[in-house]
Amino acid sequence: MNFEAVIGLEVHAQLATDSKIFCGCPARPPAGRSVAEIPPNANTCPICTGHPGTLPVLNEKVVDYAILAGIATRCSIRGKSVFARKNYFYPDLPKGYQISQYDEPICEKGWLEIQALPTSPDKRIGINRIHMEEDAGKNVHAHGYSLVNLNRAGVPLIEIVSEPELSSAAEAGAYLRSLHAVVTYLGISDGNMQEGNFRCDANVSVRPAGQKEFGTRVEIKNVNSFRFVEKAIDYEIQRQIGVIEGGGKIVQETRTFDSNKNVTISMRSKEEAEDYRYFPDPDLIPVRVTEARVNRLRSELPELPDAVKRRFMTELGLSAEDAAALTSTRDLALFFEEALQALSETGIDRAKGAKALANWLTGEVGRLLNESGVEIRNSRLTVVHLADLVRVTLEGAVSSTGAKQALSEAWSTGESIPAVVARLGLKQVSDLGELEPAVEKVIAAFPGQAAEFRAGKEKLLGFFVGQVMKATGGKANPALLQELVAKKLKQMGDS
Amino acid sequence: MKALDTARFQSIREIHDAFDRGEFLPSELTRAYLQAAQAGTLNAFITFTEENAMRAAVAADQVLKAEKKVPRAILPLFGIPLGLKDNLVTEGVRTTCASRMLENYHPPYSATVVKRLENAGAFSLGKLNMDEFAMGGSNENSAFGAVQHPTHPDRVPGGSSGGSAAAVRAGQCVASLGSDTGGSIRLPASYCGVVGLKPTYGRVSRFGLIAFASSLDQIGPLGRSVEDCAVLMDVMAGHDPLDSTSLMIEKPSCVDACRRAPDWAGLRVGIPEEFFSAQLSPGVETRVREALKWFEAQGAKLVPVTLPNSRHAVAVYYLVAVSEASSNLARFDGVRYGNRSAEAAQASKLKDFYEHARAAFGPEVKRRLILGTFALSSGYQDAYYRKACQVRALVAHDFERAFQEVDLIAGPVAPTTAFRIGEKAGDPLTLYLNDLLTIPANLAGLPAMSVPCGDGEDGLPVGLQLMGPSLSEEMLFSVGAAYERGRRQT
C-alpha cells in the first residue's frame, strides 16, 4: 500500500524584545553574550517569579512583534484578542499556569510559501494561528538535586501553528527555514536555535494515499535544529508505516527525538495528557489592536526573504539555489548586498561580481561558518574582506588556491586581504619579464623532454609548467605561464 | 500620664485635632493602640509590627514638634496607626493569608495600597486575621484560630476581613484595610458595627493583594466613621501602572463628598424587593426600614426596583470565584511558594510531591479548589464556568437597568446579625447563602458600602448597604456620611 504523510508544525519563536512580556526584567543576555553566561535567577523579579500578589502588565512591543509576524505571513490580525491561563503543575512554572492565548489569538489564517527543493514548484502552507505567550523557566538536574532557573520565565514567545499541509520531511524543513528567515528578517527574533530562540514541535500522521481522513497523529516535542526535525519526521513516517503494515495501530502520544540514535521515543500517551483548563486571564484586559496600528506596522515592514530572493534572481541573474542560500538569513543577505556594493565601486561588473560573491559565500565561507557554528556577523570577516577577495581573483592577481589561503588567514586573524597577500607573497607573477628567465632555465635543464615536446608529445607542456611553478613557488599566473612555456619551448628549439 | 483610651476616638479628624492641641504625640497614641491590640483577646492580629510602627510614630513626633500642626494637606494620614488584612503583602513582614501554606512567607515587596498609605503618613501595627485566603464569611477558617466578635465574644465577627472589622471596633487600630470578593469587607463591617466600603472594581490597585478571585477582588477601607473610610479611599484610589485592571480614572474626592450634603430632593433610592424577600431576621429588617424612612424624611424618593437575576448570584459566584481561585492558588505547591511538608520533601515522584505539599491548605480552601478545578475542566467548563460567566453578565445588566431609574440602591448587608461561633461550621452551604446580599455588587463590579444602622433585637449591630453605579463612590460617601450624622443626632 502507498502511504502519504500529513505534517503540521508548531514553532515557538522567542521575541527579541529588551524586556520580558509581563515585567521589566531583561528578556535576553546583553549583545554578544550567551544565555549560559547569565547567573541563574539573575534576570528575575517578584512578577516573573510569580510572587503572591503580583500582576502581569503586557509589554506592547510583544504585540507589535506578533502583529509583524502576522502581517508577514498574510494572517488576519484580530481587533480583540485575549490572554488565557494554561494551568498545569511543573516546577519550572512558578505561577502554576502559563499566560498564553487560547480561543482568541492575535493572528489567524495566513500562509507561507515554501520550496522544498530548488527545483520544486512553490507551495503555499497555511498558517492556522499565531499567538503570544510567556516562556517557562528551566529545570536543572545536578548533584542529586533539581534546581530551577527562572531567567527564562516570562520571556516573550510567539507560537506559530501551521495547518497540517506539509507532506514530507523536506517540506517541513523548507517551511521551517522559510519561517526562520521571515522572523529574522523582521528582526523580531534572533532565531538562534542553539540558544533555544526557535523551537519546533511536529505533529505527524500517515494515511493510505488518497484517503481523506487523517491518521492518528503523534507529536514530536522540542526538536532544536532543522536537520533533526527532518530526521525525526523521516523516522516517524517510516515507523508509523511499519506499525500499520505490521497490522498494528498508531497510538496517540507525545514522542521525543534522540539525535544520537536518530529515532523517536515515546514520552507519554494521550491518557496521561494534561487538561489545561484554559480560561481568560482575569488579570489582563483584552488586547485591542486598531487598524491604524496594523497599518503603521505594515508601513515599517522590511523587504521579506521571498522578495529579496526574487530580486537576486531577476536583477543579478543568480540561480534559484544561490538566491535561496543567500537569503536564508537577513544578515547573510545584507552582507552579500553590502559586499556587492563595495565591489561595484571598484568598477567590477555587478552580475559578474554577484556570481563570484555568491560562490564564495555559499562555498568556502559557508563551509567555515558551518564548521565553526558562527554567524557571519559574529565572525571576523567583513564585507571588505569578501569584496577584496572577489576583486583579486577576478583581476587575476591571486590564484584561487592563493585566495582560499588568504580567506583562511582573514577568517582566523581578521587581517585585510591585501595585507595577507603581501605577507604571504600570494600575488601571482604575471610579469612576463620576470617569468622568462625561470622558464628558460627549466627548459635548459630538461633538454630530452624539450626535444620530445617539439617532436609532438604536447602532453609534456604540463610537466614544464609544473616545474616552473615549483621553481617560482606557485606564484606564477597559470594561464600566462602556459602560454609562455609553449612559446619558449618552440623558440628555444628554433635557435 | 494616664493611658489613652483608644476606643474613645471616633475619627482620624479627632485624632489630628488632638495632635494639634498637643494632647499627645503620635508615639503615645501608637503605643496605646499597640497595648490595646496586644492585650486584646479577639485574636484579631496574626502578626504585630510594633518596631516598624514605633519607628514611624517617633519620626512623626519629630515632624509634629517641628511643625506644631498636623500637615494634613500633604499627609492626610499623618501619625495614624492602621491594621492590614494579612493578604496584603508587606515587604519583609510575614504575610500569611491566615494559611499554614504561607506561615513563613516574607514578601520582597509591598502592595501598592500599602505604599500609598505609608506615603500619606500612616503606618501599620500589624497584619490582621482573616479567613484562609479570604475564603469564608465568619473568620472561623483561619489557620491562626477564629476571631471573636468585638462586643460578643461567643459570636463571629463576620469574614473574611474579620480581623479588620473587629480590630477597628475594639480600638486596636484607627482604621484598617480589608478585601472584598463576595462581601468580605461589608459583612464583617455590618456584624461589628463599623463602616466598610467595597470600591468599584478597578478603582483601587490589586497589586500586592494575594488573589482569591481576580475578577471580583477589591481592596477597601474599614473605619469607625464614613469619613475615615473616605480619607483612606482618597489616598488609595487611582490608576496603578502595575495593575492592568486598574482604571485610568481621576482620583475621587471622597472626603469632600462626605462634607457635602446630598441633593435629597432629587435623590431616588432603589429598594430591591429581592433583598427584602430574603429571610431577614426581624431586627435587621426593622433597622434597615427605619434607615430608609429617614432617607424619605430628608426628601429622597424610595423606588421599588427588581434585580431578578440576583437569585442566581450565589450559584454564579461559587463557580466564578472558585474557578479563578483554583488557578490563583496553584503557585502554592511547595516548589517556589508554600510549605513543603516532610512527606513532600521525601517524595520521589513529582505527583506525590504535589499531593503532600498541597495538604497544607485548610478544609474550606481545599473544598473550593476542588470545586474550581472541576468547574474549569474540559467537558464541564461550558456547563459551569462559562455558563456562570454568562449569568454574571445578566446580574450586571439588572443593575444597569435599575440605575436608569434610581441613583442608589439600599438594603441590608446580611439577612441576620452575627451568629455564634461554630453555629454554621458544619454547613458550608448555609454559610454560602449568607453572602446572598453582598455578592451581586462584586459580580457587577459596583461600589457598595456598609454603614451601621443600629442594633438588632439581640443587641448586635446591623449594617445598611448602599450600592451605587460604577464609580459613584463620591455619591455613596455623601449619602453615607449624611446618614451617619443624622443617626448620631437622633
Give ranges for CATH 1.10.10.410 in chain A.
432-494
Tell me: pLDDT of A495 over 60.
Answer: no
A127 in helix, strand or coil?
Answer: strand
- Please indicate, yes or no, whether residues B352 and B244 belong to a single structural domain of this protein: no
Q: At what angle do helices A432-445 and A478-494 cross, to 10 degrees?
A: 50
The dihedral formed by the CA atoms of B396, B400, B402 and B403, expressed in degrees to the nearest 10: 130
Asked if A283 lies within 8 A of B331 by C-beta distance, the reply is no
Model pLDDT, residue A271? 67
Q: Which residue has the cell 430574603?
A: B278
Distance CA B475, CA B452 (A): 17
Which member of A53, A96, A277 has the closest CB to residue B333? A96
Task: Answer whether CATH 1.10.10.410 is correct for domain A432-494.
Answer: yes
- Please indicate, yes or no, whether residues B293 and B323 belong to a single structural domain of this protein: yes
Taking the alpha carbons at both ends of chain A, their separation in whole angstroms is 80
Model pLDDT, residue A119? 74
- Please indicate, yes or no, whether residues B92 and B135 belong to a single structural domain of this protein: yes
Mean pLDDT of B338-345: 84
Tens digit of pLDDT for each residue in A147-201? 999 999 999 999 999 999 999 999 999 999 999 999 999 999 998 888 889 999 9
> Which residues of chain A have a CB within 8 Å of the CB of B102?
52
- Please indicate, yes or no, whether residues B360 and B311 belong to a single structural domain of this protein: no
Model pLDDT, residue B332? 96
Does the CB of B377 have a partner CB in chain A at under 8 Å?
yes
Q: How confident is the model at residue A269 (pLDDT cuts 50, 70, 90)?
A: confident
- Please indicate, yes or no, whether residues B462 and B392 belong to a single structural domain of this protein: yes
Does the CB of A50 have a partner CB in chain B at under 8 Å?
yes
> Which residues of chain A have a CB within 8 Å of the CB of B373?
277
Q: With the C-alpha atoms ordered B47, B52, B54, B57, is the resulting torsion angle positive or negative?
A: negative
- Please indicate, yes or no, whether residues B53 and B177 belong to a single structural domain of this protein: yes
Distance from the Cα of B209 to chain A's closest Cα (Å) equals 5
Q: At what angle do helices A364-372 and A350-362 cross, to 10 degrees?
A: 30
Percent share of chain A, pLDDT over 70: 98
Cβ A67 vs Cβ A107: under 8 Å: yes
Model pLDDT, residue B1? 47
Kindly give the pairing relationship between strand A107-114 and strand B461-467.
unpaired
Mark which of B349, B383, B417 sits at the end of a domain: B383
Q: Which residue has the cell 459596583?
A: B446
Three state DSSP letters for A210-267 = CCCCCCCCEEEEEECCHHHHHHHHHHHHHHHHHHHHCCCCCCCEEEEEECCCCEEEEE
Distance CA B40, CA B62 (A): 29
Which member of B242, B323, B377 has the closest CB to residue A275? B377
Cell numbers describing residue B259: 462634607
- Count structural domains, chain B: 2
Tens digit of pLDDT for each residue in A104-133? 999 999 999 998 776 778 899 999 999 999
Q: Which residues pair with A486 in a beta bridge?
A: none
Cell numbers describing residue B60: 512623626
Chain B, residues 87-116, CB within 8 A of chain A, namely 87-89, 95, 97, 102, 105, 107-109, 111
Cell numbers describing residue A432: 612576463
Phi and psi torsions of B303, nearest 5°? -125, 120
**Residue B164 belongs to domain spanning:** 1-329+388-490
- Please indicate, yes or no, whether residues B107 and B239 belong to a single structural domain of this protein: yes
The amino acid that residue B272 corresponds to is: P
- Closest-CA residue to A16 (of A222, A175, A184, A224): A184
The CATH number linked to B199 is 3.90.1300.10
Distance from the Cα of A296 to chain B's closest Cα (Å) equals 25
Model pLDDT, residue A419? 84
Tens digit of pLDDT for each residue in B168-222? 999 999 999 999 999 999 999 999 999 999 999 999 999 999 999 999 999 999 9
The amino acid that residue A443 corresponds to is: I
| Span of A210-214, B295-299, B415-419 with lowest mean pLDDT | A210-214
The dihedral formed by the CA atoms of B342, B343, B345 and B348, expressed in degrees to the nearest 10: 160
Greatest mean pLDDT among A256-265, A283-292, B338-347, B421-430 lies in A283-292
Hey, which residues of B are catalytic here?
85, 160, 184
Cell numbers describing residue B234: 482618597
Model pLDDT, residue B2? 58
Mark which of B351, B383, B415 sits at the end of a domain: B383
Q: How confident is the model at residue A47 (pLDDT cuts 50, 70, 90)?
A: very high
Among B88, B93, B113, B327, most A C-beta atoms within 10 A, so best to mutate, is B327
- Please indicate, yes or no, whether residues B364 and B475 belong to a single structural domain of this protein: no
Which chain B residue's Cα is nearest to A22? B242
Three state DSSP letters for chain B = CCCCCHHHCCCHHHHHHHHHCCCCCHHHHHHHHHHHHHHCCCCCEEEECHHHHHHHHHHHHHHHHHHCCCCCCCCCCCCCEEEEECCECECCECCCCCCHHHCCCCCCCCCHHHHHHHHCCCEEEEEECCCHHHCCCCCCCCCCCCCCCCCCCCECCCCCCHHHHHHHHCCCCCEEEEEECCCCCHHHHHHHCCEEEECCCCCCCCCCECCCCCCCCEEEEEECCHHHHHHHHHHHCCCCCCCCCCCCCCCCCHHHHHHCCCCHHHCEEEEEHHHHHCCCCHHHHHHHHHHHHHHHHHCCEEEEECCHHHHHHHHHHHHHHHHHHHHHHHHECCCCECCCCHHHHHCCCHHHHHHHHHHHCCHHHHHHHHHHHHHHCCCCCHHHHHHHHHHHHHHHHHHHHHCCCCCEEEEECCCCCCCECCCCCCCHHHHHHCCCCCHHHHHHCCCEEEEEEEECCCCCEEEEEEECCCCCHHHHHHHHHHHHHHHHHC
Tell me: pLDDT of A278 over 90.
Answer: yes
A285 in helix, strand or coil?
Answer: coil
Distance from the Cα of B439 to chain A's closest Cα (Å) equals 18
Distance from the Cα of A329 to chain B's closest Cα (Å) equals 37
Tens digit of pLDDT for each residue in B462-488? 999 999 999 999 999 999 999 999 988
Q: Determine which helix (DSSP H) or strand (DSSP E) holds A365, and give its type and residue range.
A: helix A364-372
- Please indicate, yes or no, whether residues B13 and B61 belong to a single structural domain of this protein: yes
Distance CA A240, CA A130 (A): 29
pLDDT, chain B, mean: 95
Distance CA B327, CA B381 (A): 14
- Please indicate, yes or no, whether residues B255 and B361 belong to a single structural domain of this protein: no
Chain B, residues 217-256, CB within 8 A of chain A, namely 241-245
Does the CB of B381 have a partner CB in chain A at under 8 Å?
yes
Does the CB of A105 have a partner CB in chain B at under 8 Å?
no
Distance from the Cα of A148 to chain B's closest Cα (Å) equals 9
* Residues belonging to chain A: 495
Tell me: pLDDT of B350 over 50.
Answer: yes
Distance CA A133, CA A130 (A): 10
pLDDT, chain A, mean: 90
The amino acid that residue A407 corresponds to is: L
Rg of the Cα atoms in chain B: 22
Q: Which residues pair with A166 in a beta bridge?
A: A7
B194 burial level (CB within 10 Å; 0-12, 13-18, 19+): buried
Asked if A285 lies within 8 A of B210 by C-beta distance, the reply is no
> Which residues of chain B have a CB within 8 Å of the CB of A51?
89, 107-109, 337
Which member of B206, B326, B336 has the closest CB to residue A55? B206
Helix, strand, coil content of chain A in percent (nearest 5): 40, 20, 35
> Which residues of chain B have a CB within 8 Å of the CB of A87?
326-327, 330, 376
Distance CA A25, CA A3 (A): 49
- Please indicate, yes or no, whether residues B282 and B397 belong to a single structural domain of this protein: yes
DSSP count for chain A of H helices, then E strands: 16, 16
Q: How confident is the model at residue B256 (pLDDT cuts 50, 70, 90)?
A: very high
The amino acid that residue A159 corresponds to is: E
The dihedral formed by the CA atoms of B210, B211, B217 and B219, expressed in degrees to the nearest 10: 10
- Please indicate, yes or no, whether residues B72 and B147 belong to a single structural domain of this protein: yes
- Closest-CA residue to A102 (of A118, A81, A121, A117): A81
Three state DSSP letters for A97-124 = EEEEECCCCCEEEEEEEECCCCCCCCEE
Chain A, residues 147-176, CB within 8 A of chain B, namely 148
How far is CA A439 from each of CA A62, A432, A435, A488, B43, rounded to the nearest angstrom? 70, 10, 6, 7, 110
Among A47, A54, A139, A278, most B C-beta atoms within 10 A, so best to mutate, is A54
- Closest-CA residue to B123 (of B75, B70, B184, B190): B75
Which chain B residue's Cα is nearest to A87? B327
Asked if B333 lies within 8 A of A89 by C-beta distance, the reply is yes
Tens digit of pLDDT for each residue in A4-40? 999 999 999 999 999 999 999 999 998 878 888 999 9
Greatest mean pLDDT among A239-253, A312-326, B462-476 lies in B462-476
